[in-house]
Chains A and B, each alone.
Chain A
Amino acid sequence: MKTNGIFASLFSVLFALFMLAPIIVVIGVSFTPTGFLEFPPSGISLRWFREIWDHPDFIAAAWVSLKLAFVSATVATLLSLPAALAIGRGRFPGRDALQSLFLSPLMVPTVVLGIAFLRFLTLVGLNGTFFGLMLCHAIIITPFILRLVLAAVTGLDQSVEKAATSLGASRWTVFRRITFPAILPGVIGGWVLAFITSFDELTVTVFIVNPSTTTLPVRLFSHISQTTDPLVASISAVAIAFTVILMLFVDRLYGLDRLLIGEGKR
Chain B
Amino acid sequence: MTGQRPWLLSAPALILFAVLLIAPLIMTFLLSFNSFDFYDGIGSDMSLANYREVLGDSYFYEIFGRTFAIALATTVICAIIGVPQAYFLNRMTPFWRSIMVLVTLGPLLISVVVRTLGWAILLGNKGVINTFLTDLGLIERPIRMMYTSGGIVLALVHVMIPFMVLAVWASLQRQDPATETAAESLGAGPFTVFRRVVFPQVIPGVLSGSLIVFSLSASAFATPAILGGRRVKVVATSVYDEFMNTLNWPLGAAIAMLLLLSVMIVMISWNRLVERRYKEVFE
Contacts and interface: CB of A to CB of B under 8 A. Distances in A.
B121 A39 contact: yes
Given A202-B112, A225-B226, A228-B117, A86 B6 contact: yes
A196 B88 CA distance: 29
B12 interface: yes
A116 B24 CA distance: 5
A110 interface: yes
Contacts of A83: 9-10, 12-14
Given A23-B107, A25-B118, A118 B1 contact: no
Given A16-B103, A138-B16, A228-B117, A111 B108 contact: no
The B contact surface, by secondary structure, is: helix
Nearest to A256: B105
Interface stretch (B50-58, B137-145, B249-257): B249-257
A79 to B, nearest CB: 4
Interface in B85-111: 85, 88-89, 91-93, 100-111
B12 to A, nearest CB: 5
Contacts of A26: 114, 117-118, 121
A142 B7 CA distance: 17
Given A12-B88, A92-B1, A109-B260, A22 B115 contact: yes
A89 B1 contact: yes
A22 B114 CA distance: 9
B117 A109 contact: no
Nearest to B157: A18
Given A232-B117, A247-B109, A257-B105, A111 B219 contact: yes
B226 A15 contact: no
Contacts of B104: 15, 19
Contacts of A263: 170
Contacts of B119: 22
Interface string B7-24: 101101110110011011
Contact of B16 (A9, A79, A251): A79
B100 A200 contact: no
Contact of B101 (A91, A203, A256): A256
Interface in B121-165: 121-122, 124, 128, 155, 158, 161-162
A240 interface: yes
Contacts of B2: 90-92
Contacts of A87: 6, 10
Contacts, number: 262
Contact of A108 (B158, B180, B260): B260
A86 B166 contact: no
B218 interface: yes
B91 A3 contact: yes
Interface stretch (A47-55, A162-170, A183-191, A216-224): A216-224
A139 B17 contact: yes
A1 B179 CA distance: 12
A129 interface: no
B49 interface: no
Contacts of A217: 111-113
B13 A111 contact: no
B158 to A, nearest CB: 7
A257 B81 contact: no
B251 to A, nearest CB: 11
A256 B106 CA distance: 8
B274 interface: no
Contact of B170 (A110, A111, A261): A261
A113 B215 CA distance: 14
A265 B121 CA distance: 39
A259 to B, nearest CB: 8
Contacts of A2: 91, 180
A200 B111 contact: yes
A221 B252 CA distance: 21
B207 interface: no
A233 interface: yes
Interface string B224-240: 01100100000110011
Interface in A134-175: 135-136, 138-139, 142
B277 interface: no
Contacts of A139: 16-17, 20-21
Interface in A193-239: 196, 199-200, 202-203, 206-207, 216-217, 220-221, 224-225, 228, 232-233, 236, 239
17 contacts: A2-B180, A3-B93, A20-B103, A22-B122, A25-B121, A78-B12, A83-B9, A102-B13, A108-B260, A110-B221, A119-B249, A119-B253, A203-B236, A206-B244, A207-B244, A257-B105, A257-B166
Instruction: State the 6 A-B residue pairs at the shortest beta-carbon distance, nearest first.
Output: A22-B118, A109-B219, A120-B24, A86-B6, A116-B24, A82-B9
